[in-house]
């Protein structure tokens, strides 16, 4: 047998083996996928069945009907032949109900679900299902798949063997013709390439270039033939490139050169520009050649720099805005903001800086946060007067100052040579502070960097102004709450001082005297202590009761209820933003209504406050107003809906009762909703609640349009 024939048979055999392996992998993959699909379907069916069983068991336990669980499990097992065993076990391992089929197959799978109510474990349902039918179906599928694959492999293998054997011997003339045509195509391809292409030999000498190479580097084909490839590389890189070229020849593989580093080309006129180079080794009868694809990436570099600057800008601004929304102090916010600013690439090498604010003294900068500053700088620059030092000059001139502060490094013995930016923080022309940021010595000042820092300073100014406004609003809110409490206390004192408090005080006083006169640990002394304790508790309750029981006359006037709603919501806008609560309102077209604006506003504020308190992790607050007909009478309806945890059904009927509350003891007296109910009913209206556990709550009240 001749050598070409032998090689043809060998290739055919190896190809056939490869096809066998591929078919084997495909068959195994299909079987595994089918098996997984069948098991997944079995799991889904079991999960749905367990969910139905657990719902029934939960309801039965809540009804204390445990016998129903056992009867239900037995009936379920009888009706579902694939169920081998079904068991209900309490948390203390007591088997409440058990069904087990007489025939128990080996191919089974255990499924389990825990029944809970109000975050308390009630029961565990365990179900064992017979999967023998699934395995039988899988075996039938595997058998049919394997037979089909074997049949197909026989056909393909025979066809491939016959084809390869017939064409294993090719005429030498055809091979020469193909090589000649390939060379022509290669030259055409080389000239049609959009990038400069350079064809070099093993010694690194240029054999062939295309027209794009002549245009980019400014050399002609005749000037480049026989020259070293290093003619295209700047002088400072040539020696290193020769060593790398020699190493590449020893292990020639197709790859990009200079991945992760910056490469530069050199044109005939001495211009340098960034490039990307890809290498492709070509083995020929004449030896090894390398095809180099060179691409000028100057435009791409510029675009990347623009994108990078935009990315850093957007990332920094987004992080600053995110920090501004956190419910922390201004100093903590500035501390995190400084870390974010110092993470910028041109600031990260030094990672030093500080933020000054103008506080009580109008022309003095006070250092609030800093990173990496030496002790000598911290003590000398804790406060800076306007006009002094670079930070003070930046504050007084309201301009960005950049200086290579080698002199300052000499003044402070522990300061390394550096340069720094001083950027004023301004709002509406007023100086709020200065950012002092350190960079490397001899750093080149760039307009893009300065613009980025100015934008950061503007964002920081907005954060500072917003935080100060929040602090001022919080102070005013505390004053308002204090004033309301004092007003209520005054009314309480005027109305009930003589009717209730005096007798209650007398009881408490006599009880205390009586207790002091009693000696030892007698029962009488214990009784006196109980009287004193209960009197004290009644005095506390009295403070809240009288607020609820006041009977002031309504001052009714024609009012726009939508305006009252808008005013009430405005008071909670800031709080909702802090708690990530979205306010949605749908205010319908409704006529004027005779109401006491202040009392209706008080009721609305109570409802809105409760809704916000129910969503500590954020949510949606929805307010709807509309006109509706109830029993042939026109009413205006107002609904306040939250997406909180909801109110349990057993507590909804008591929600408007005085002193009943779902909050902690120290968070309310339980009179807020009772007051709302009294206000609405005083106007001739009604109030109700609709809620489900985990789906939020809706409070709605109606006011009659005709209030004769």
The mean per-residue pLDDT over the stretch 548-566 comes to 80
23-31 contact pairs (CB < 8 A, 24+): 23/149, 23/152, 23/153, 26/149, 27/145, 27/146, 27/149, 30/145, 31/138, 31/141, 31/142, 31/145
State how far the Cα of 353 lies from the Cα of 351, in Å rounded to an integer.
7
pLDDT digits (tens, 9 = 90+) for 266-305: 888 888 888 888 888 888 777 888 888 888 888 887 787 7
State how far the Cα of 598 lies from the Cα of 595, in Å rounded to an integer.
9
Predicted confidence at residue 488, as pLDDT, reads: 58
Domain edges within the chain: 3-136, 193-296, 302-550, 557-704
Mean pLDDT of the chain: 78
Determine phi and psi for 57, rounding to 5 degrees. -65, -40
The mean per-residue pLDDT over the stretch 466-485 comes to 73
**CATH 2.60.40.420, applies to 3-136:** no
Q: Answer whether 0.95 is exceeded by the pTM.
A: no
Report yes or no: 528 and 550 within 8 Å, Cβ to Cβ. Answer: no
Where are the strands (E) in 159-316, listed by range? 197-201, 206-209, 255-257, 263-266, 272-284, 287-296
Q: Which of 112, 102, 121 is nearest to 46 (CA)?
A: 112
Per-residue pLDDT for 36 more than 70? yes
pLDDT digits (tens, 9 = 90+) for 329-354: 888 888 888 888 888 776 766 778 89
Torsion region of 612: left, alpha or beta (phi above 0 gives left; psi -120 to 50 gives alpha): alpha
The mean per-residue pLDDT over the stretch 56-65 comes to 82
The more confidently predicted of residues 255 and 630 is: 630
CA angle in degrees (0–180, nearest 5) for 435-577-358: 25
Per-residue pLDDT for 176 more than 70? no
Predicted confidence at residue 530, as pLDDT, reads: 80
The more confidently predicted of residues 358 and 50 is: 358
CA 502 to chain centroid: 59
Q: Which of 705, 687, 707 is nearest to 590 (CA)?
A: 705
| H-helix segments, 167-219 | 172-192, 211-217
The mean per-residue pLDDT over the stretch 458-480 comes to 81
CATH number for the domain running over 302-550: 3.30.450.40
Predicted confidence at residue 666, as pLDDT, reads: 45
Cβ neighbours of residue 652 under 8 Å, at least 6 residues apart?
689, 691
Predicted confidence at residue 701, as pLDDT, reads: 92
pLDDT-wise least confident of 126-140, 204-218, 541-555: 541-555
Per-residue pLDDT for 668 more than 60? no
pLDDT digits (tens, 9 = 90+) for 597-653: 888 888 898 899 888 988 888 899 999 999 888 777 888 999 999 998 888 887 877
The mean per-residue pLDDT over the stretch 497-525 comes to 71
Residues in the chain: 708
State how far the Cα of 20 lies from the Cα of 26, in Å rounded to an integer.
10
Q: Percent of the chain beyond pLDDT 90?
A: 5
**CATH 1.10.150.130, applies to 557-704:** no
pLDDT-wise least confident of 246-260, 388-402, 597-611: 246-260
Q: Do domains 3-136 and 302-550 have the same CATH topology?
A: yes
Where are the strands (E) in 322-429, listed by range? 353-358, 364-371, 383-385, 401-403, 419-427
State how far the Cα of 607 lies from the Cα of 586, in Å rounded to an integer.
17
For 299, 367, 466, the CA distances from 335, given in Å and listed in that order, are 39, 11, 16
Where are the strands (E) in 228-270, listed by range? 255-257, 263-266
Overall CATH class of domain 193-296: alpha beta
State how far the Cα of 79 lies from the Cα of 52, in Å rounded to an integer.
14
- For residue 130, the surrounding DSSP H or E stretch is strand 120-130
Predicted confidence at residue 237, as pLDDT, reads: 85
């Amino acid at each position: 047998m001749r050598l070409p024939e032998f090689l043809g048979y060998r290739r055919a055999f190896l190809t056939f083996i490869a096809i066998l392996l591929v078919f084997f992998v495909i068959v195994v993959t299909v079987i595994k996928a089918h098996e997984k699909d069948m098991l997944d379907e079995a799991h889904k069916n079991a999960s749905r069945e367990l969910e139905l069983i657990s719902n029934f068991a939960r309801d039965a336990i809540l009804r204390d009907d445990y016998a129903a669980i056992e009867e239900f499990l037995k009936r379920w097992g009888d009706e579902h032949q694939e169920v081998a065993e079904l068991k209900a076990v309490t948390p203390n391992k007591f088997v409440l109900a058990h069904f087990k089929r007489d025939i128990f197959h080996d191919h089974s799978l255990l499924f389990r679900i825990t029944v809970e109510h109000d975050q308390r474990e009630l029961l565990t349902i365990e179900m064992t299902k017979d999967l023998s039918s699934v395995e039988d179906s899988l075996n039938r599928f595997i058998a049919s798949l394997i037979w089909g694959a074997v049949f197909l492999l026989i056909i393909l293998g025979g066809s491939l063997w016959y084809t390869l054997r017939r064409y294993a011997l090719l005429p030498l003339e055809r091979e020469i013709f193909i090589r000649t045509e390939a060379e022509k195509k290669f030259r055409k391809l080389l000239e049609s390439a959009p990038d400069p292409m350079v064809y070099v030999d093993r010694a690194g000498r240029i054999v062939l270039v295309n027209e794009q190479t002549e245009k980019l580097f400014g050399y002609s084909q005749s000037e480049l033939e026989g020259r070293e490839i290093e003619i295209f590389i700047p002088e400072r890189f040539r020696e290193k490139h020769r060593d790398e070229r020699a190493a590449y020849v020893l292990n020639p593989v197709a790859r990009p050169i200079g991945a992760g580093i910056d490469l530069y080309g050199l044109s005939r006129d001495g211009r340098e520009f960034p490039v990307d180079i890809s290498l492709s080794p070509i083995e020929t009868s004449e030896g090894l050649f390398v095809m180099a694809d060179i691409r000028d990436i100057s435009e791409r570099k510029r675009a990347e720099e623009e994108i990078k600057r935009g990315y850093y800008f957007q990332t920094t601004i987004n992080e600053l805005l995110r920090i501004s929304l956190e419910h922390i102090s201004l100093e903590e916010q500035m501390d995190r903001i400084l870390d974010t600013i110092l993470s910028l690439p041109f600031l990260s090498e030094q990672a030093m800086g500080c933020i000054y604010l103008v506080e009580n003294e109008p022309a003095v900068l006070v250092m609030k946060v800093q990173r990496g500053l030496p002790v000598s700088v911290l003590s000398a620059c804790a406060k800076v007067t306007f006009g002094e030092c670079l930070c003070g000059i930046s504050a007084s001139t309201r301009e960005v100052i950049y200086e290579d502060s080698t002199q300052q490094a000499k003044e402070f013995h522990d300061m390394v040579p550096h340069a720094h930016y001083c950027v004023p923080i301004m709002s509406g022309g007023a100086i709020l502070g200065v950012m002092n940021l350190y960079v490397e010595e001899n750093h080149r000042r760039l307009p893009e960097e300065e613009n980025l820092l100015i934008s950061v300073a503007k964002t920081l100014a907005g954060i500072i102004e917003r935080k100060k406004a929040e602090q001022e609003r919080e102070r005013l809110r505390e004053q308002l709450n204090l004033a309301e409490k004092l007003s209520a206390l005054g009314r309480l004192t005027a109305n009930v001082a003589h009717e209730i408090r005096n007798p209650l005080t007398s009881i408490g006083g006599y009880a205390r005297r009586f207790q002091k006169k009693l000696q030892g640990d007698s029962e009488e002394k214990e009784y006196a202590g109980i009287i004193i304790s209960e009197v004290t508790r009644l005095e506390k309750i009295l403070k809240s009761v009288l607020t609820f029981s006041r009977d002031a006359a309504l001052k009714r006037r024609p009012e726009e209820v939508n305006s009252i709603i808008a005013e009430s919501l405005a008071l909670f806008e800031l709080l909702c933003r802090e708690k990530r609560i979205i306010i949605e309102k749908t205010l319908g077209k409704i006529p004027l209504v005779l109401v006491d604006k202040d009392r209706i506003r008080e009721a609305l504020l109570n409802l809105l406050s409760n809704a916000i308190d129910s969503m500590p992790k954020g949510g949606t607050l929805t307010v709807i107003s509309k006109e509706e007909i109830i029993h042939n009478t026109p009413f205006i309806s107002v609904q306040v809906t939250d997406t909180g945890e909801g109110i349990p059904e057993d507590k909804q009927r008591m929600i408007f009762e005085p002193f009943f509350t779902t909050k902690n003891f120290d968070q309310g007296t339980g009179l807020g909703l009772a007051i709302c109910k009294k206000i609405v009913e005083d106007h001739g209206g009604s109030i109700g609640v609709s809620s489900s556990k985990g789906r939020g709550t809706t409070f709605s009240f109606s006011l009659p349009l005709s209030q004769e």
